[in-house]
Amino acid sequence: MFEQHAPVLRGFFVRRGARQDAEDLVQETYLRLLRAHAGPGESIANPEAYLFTVALNLAREQASRRRWATLPIEDIEQLGQGLASGECVEDAAEREQRRQRLQALLGTLPEHTRAVLVMQYRDGLSYKQIAERMGVSPHMVKKHVVRGLSVCRRAMGDEEALR
């Protein structure tokens, strides 16, 4: 059963953004199936359906963990410098408030868009390098950058206008 379904499960996890963890998640899926099968109680009526249900739950758990992971302030500051509108001098309190707003804003972006922005601004990667890491085209990376920067600029501008 493992040999039959492992490639499909691996692809399932990769498509959901778990490229680096796909193999571990496939093994965890089977481990949970084996534990449930060996445990007391009724046997699993449809092991294949159970396997894919476990895989879906693992993918959701991992997506939730990634979504709630926050970036260090230093990374946000570097990204903020790329988004800054050209202000020359800000005092420390204003910079800190801006970083906090930007960090909260990045947390609202879709996972792939946030990852692309971080890889470009924090890690200094090119569109091609980001595309290779994420398994998408450079054109799609550019779309994520444009979309993410637009959302960030608009939100930061709206907050500035309200002041």
Look-up: residue for tokens 């899926």?
29
What does pLDDT average to over the chain?
A: 78
Q: What percent of the chain has pLDDT over 70?
A: 77
Provide the whole-model pTM: 0.42
Q: Which two structure tokens, joined as six digits, stand for 159? A: 């907050």
Who's near 133: CB < 8 A, 6+ residues apart?
A: 19, 119, 125
d(CA 56, CA 59): 5
Reported as a pLDDT band with limits 50, 70 and 90, residue 140 is very high
Q: Domain limits of the chain? A: 2-68, 73-162
SS3 52: helix
Q: Which two structure tokens, joined as six digits, stand for 41? A: 């109680």
Query: For 98-136, how does the pLDDT look when each residue is reduced to its tens digit (9 = 90+)?
Result: 778 877 888 888 888 888 888 888 888 889 999 998 888
Tell the CATH topology of 73-162: Arc Repressor Mutant, subunit A (1.10.10)
- Check residue 89 and give its pLDDT: 44
Query: For 64-86, how does the pLDDT look when each residue is reduced to its tens digit (9 = 90+)?
Result: 676 655 556 566 666 666 556 55
